[in-house]
């Protein structure tokens, strides 16, 4: 009995870690694809990039994704129990399952809170540019400050700046024009400097 319970405990932990690793790998691929599209002023070009775009557009979406993963993890844990020892052993491993799901929930909540921070930064940056009398000058001020900072710049600010530049309104057009004008200058292209910073700014999970 104890041997079976121990085997089931290890199985739950192993499958939980495997699912978490797979989800993390998919999220990283989506992030990289989305950042490439952002820094080239393109719409998300593949399903993983579109998924990541949906994920970071709002706190609600990030929270929904975390809850979906929790449900998926619960189904995997129940499946492991059913196909290894059967449900009569669930009382021996219930606390292990709860522990694994609690850790996953905390991780998902942290990711959702990071998304909420990105949303606030994006809204603030768009509002700062939009409230200026000269949209282009304000956008240039922000871009040049980040460009001068180089690798020391906050990657989150680069990320939301490129997202703002995707907006189909005067604020977005102003930010895009400034970024494009800098990329055409003889000095080092902002894309060369910022691609890593933009990606590091969205290390969500």
Q: Where are the domains of the chain?
A: 2-119, 123-200
Residues in contact with 11: Cβ distance below 8 Å, sequence separation at least 6, in sequence order: 80, 84
Tell me what pLDDT residue 192 has.
Answer: 44
Q: Return the pLDDT at 119.
A: 93
**pLDDT given for residue 183 in this prediction:** 66
Taking all residues of the chain, what is their mean pLDDT, rounded to a whole number?
A: 81
Nearest to 128 by CA among 157, 104, 98, 108: 157
The whole-number pLDDT of residue 203 equals: 53
Q: How far is CA 27 from CA 41, 191, 196, in A?
A: 21, 22, 16
* Residues with pLDDT less than 70, the chain: 1-5, 84-93, 183-205
Phi, psi of 131 (to 5 degrees): -85, -5
pLDDT at 184: 65
């Amino acid at each position: 009995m104890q041997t079976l319970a121990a085997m089931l405990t290890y199985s739950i932990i192993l499958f939980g870690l495997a699912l978490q690793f797979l989800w993390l790998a998919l999220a990283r691929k989506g992030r990289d694809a989305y950042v490439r599209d952002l820094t080239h002023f393109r719409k998300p070009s593949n399903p993983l990039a579109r998924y990541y775009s949906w994920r970071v557009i709002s706190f609600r979406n990030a929270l929904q994704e975390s809850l979906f993963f929790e449900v998926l993890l619960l189904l995997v844990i129940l499946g492991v129990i059913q196909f290894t020892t059967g449900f009569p052993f669930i009382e021996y491993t219930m606390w292990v399952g709860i522990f694994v799901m609690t850790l996953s929930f905390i991780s998902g909540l942290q990711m959702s809170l990071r998304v909420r921070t990105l949303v606030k930064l994006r809204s603030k940056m768009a509002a700062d540019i939009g409230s200026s009398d000269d949209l282009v000058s304000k956008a240039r001020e922000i871009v040049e400050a980040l460009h001068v900072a180089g690798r020391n710049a906050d990657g989150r600010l680069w990320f939301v700046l490129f997202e703002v530049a995707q907006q189909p309104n005067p604020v977005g057009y102003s930010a895009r024009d400034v970024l494009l004008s800098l990329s055409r200058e003889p000095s080092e292209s902002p894309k060369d400097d910022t691609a890593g910073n933009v990606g590091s700014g969205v290390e969500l999970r």
